[in-house]
Amino acid sequence: MKKPYYKTDASVEEYIHLAKDVSGIELIEKLKDVLPIHATLLEIGSGPGTDWKILSEAYNVTGSDFSKQFLSRLESKYPNGDFLELDAVTLKTDKTFDALYSNKVLHHLTDEELAKSINHQLDCLNPNGIICHSFWKGEGSEIFKGLFVNYHTKSTLKEFFDEYFEILLLEDYKEFEDNDSLLLIAKKR
């Protein structure tokens, strides 16, 4: 069977090249408004590690990904870094964190997987823990480069998160085009 995107060296090299000029620095600035410096934070889907590096300047960060290809690159580039092999759906770790962060990762989950992920996110968070996640904005879903992509609106995100998290910020932002993305920052109820 063909290995999925993000799980081959060629696709990981391609993604690293495509994403070389983008970062979540503006999202991280918004996170800093609500998450105290030096807090513990788990990044889900660290990929090339661009945001992991920025986050590490302010927080006690553990990076993670479900892709061994990304993880081995991260471990050799940042030998002192802390990285876990984690699937965003199951988040199998005994550790708990003050915050969870993901930048353009959870859109790869189906609605059912996102609901499961939210339950596991609650388990990984300390009391009053913060989540900071970005999504592609839109409706429906599609397959892109063989990968499932689930679009969200403010209203679908509220439906998923509102019961378990107090939403502190839910706003549009521009990744490539005006209002193509959504940022959610919320606090565990």
Ligand X SMILES: C[S@@+](CC[C@H](N)C(=O)[O-])C[C@H]1O[C@@H](n2cnc3c(N)ncnc32)[C@H](O)[C@@H]1O
Which positions lie near ligand X, rule CB under 6 A? 6, 19, 24, 44-45, 47-48, 50-51, 65-67, 70, 87-89, 103-105, 108
For ligand X, which is the closer residue by CB, 127 or 130? 130
For ligand X, which is the closer residue by CB, 128 or 146? 146
Q: Which residue is nearest to ligand X (CB)?
A: 47
CB 48, min distance to ligand X, A: 6
CB 17, min distance to ligand X, A: 12
For ligand X, which is the closer residue by CB, 6 or 155? 6
For ligand X, which is the closer residue by CB, 88 or 125? 88
3-state secondary structure the chain: CCCCCCCCHHHHHHHHHHCCCCCCHHHHHHHHCCCCCCCEEEECCCCCCHHHHHHHCCCEEEEEECCHHHHHHHHHHCCCCCEEECCCCCCCCCCCEEEEEEECCHHHCCHHHHHHHHHHHHHHEEEEEEEEEEEEECCCEEEECCEEEECECHHHHHHHHCCCEEEEEEEEECCCCCCCEEEEEEEEC
